[in-house]
């Protein structure tokens, strides 16, 4: 099987080592509403469209109870809309500090292009956030062939619509000749639902959630423990393969091309 394209996620995969930007913005918005959330709570549904992500946090029993205690009523759709309206400027502000390409991305993508692969991206960010990242990434040497966000297709992950439209725009098929590289269970589901191969990113992504500097300070045994935990979570979500980073996916692409069907 000759691969035709790769579709990459943004936070934790292409940029923002440890996927810190969404967590920081979500925590800021919930704290502003008087209901602080933990890092783990903010990360639980990472990867889905951000308005849906906010709604999912409000469904966490502890957060829901805290909201009722603070506001005297169960969280409503109007509350989700209000939180999302506050989230948008907060997220764009935070992105200014979390839009650095992850080491190895530029060279890895260049090698993918030499293989004849088109490069697409999908995200849980909205169009304004994605456009900000596209501009920042371009100055660092990365520009995809096509980039999509949930509002471009009416719904986000785990639905496959962004992957389908990316394939259409890049004029590549069948979907089994495309690979999705990402760092959350929702991303994995998106790729699987689209009929694509999926590679879950562990070390640089949401499942470990530490910066490159923080990672370098961890003991080797702690690193291995975190890698294994992230790997198992992504495999449980349906990933065909896992890799520490985008820069380490090339051997997996070689292996996929040797497989006749999946």
3-state DSSP assignment of residue 47: coil
CA angle 114, 259, 158 (to 5 degrees): 80
Q: Just list the catalytic residues.
A: 9, 50
Q: Are 58 and 67 in contact (CB under 8 A)?
A: yes
Distances (CA, A) of 231 to 5, 26, 173, 185, 236: 23, 25, 28, 11, 8
Q: Apex CA 182: angle with CA 84 and CA 131, to 5°? A: 50
Q: In Å, what is the CA distance from 58 to each residue of 33, 61, 64, 187, 242?
A: 12, 8, 5, 21, 30
């Amino acid at each position: 099987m000759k691969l035709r394209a790769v579709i990459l996620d943004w936070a934790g995969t292409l940029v923002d080592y440890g996927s810190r930007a969404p967590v920081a913005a979500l925590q800021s918005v919930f704290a502003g509403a008087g209901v602080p959330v933990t890092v783990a709570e903010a990360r639980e549904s990472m990867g889905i469209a951000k308005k849906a992500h906010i709604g999912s946090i409000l469904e966490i029993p502890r957060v829901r109870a805290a909201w009722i205690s603070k506001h005297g009523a169960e969280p409503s759709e109007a509350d989700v809309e209000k939180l999302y309206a506050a989230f948008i400027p907060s997220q764009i502000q935070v992105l200014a500090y979390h839009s650095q390409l992850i080491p190895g991305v530029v060279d890895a993508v260049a090698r993918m292009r030499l293989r004849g692969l088109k490069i697409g991206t999908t995200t849980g960010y909205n169009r304004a956030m994605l456009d900000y990242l596209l501009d920042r990434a371009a100055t660092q040497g990365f520009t995809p062939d096509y980039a999509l966000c949930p509002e471009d297709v009416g719904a986000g992950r785990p639905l496959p619509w962004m992957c389908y439209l990316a394939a259409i725009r890049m004029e590549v098929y069948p979907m089994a000749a495309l690979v999705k590289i990402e760092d959350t269970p929702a991303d994995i589901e998106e790729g699987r639902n689209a009929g694509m191969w999926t590679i879950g990113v562990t070390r640089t992504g949401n499942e470990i959630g530490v910066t490159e500097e923080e990672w370098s300070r961890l003991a080797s045994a702690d690193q291995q423990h975190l890698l294994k935990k992230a790997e198992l979570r992504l495999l449980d979500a349906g990933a065909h393969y896992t890799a520490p980073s985008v820069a380490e996916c090339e051997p997996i692409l070689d292996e996929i091309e040797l497989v006749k069907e999946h």
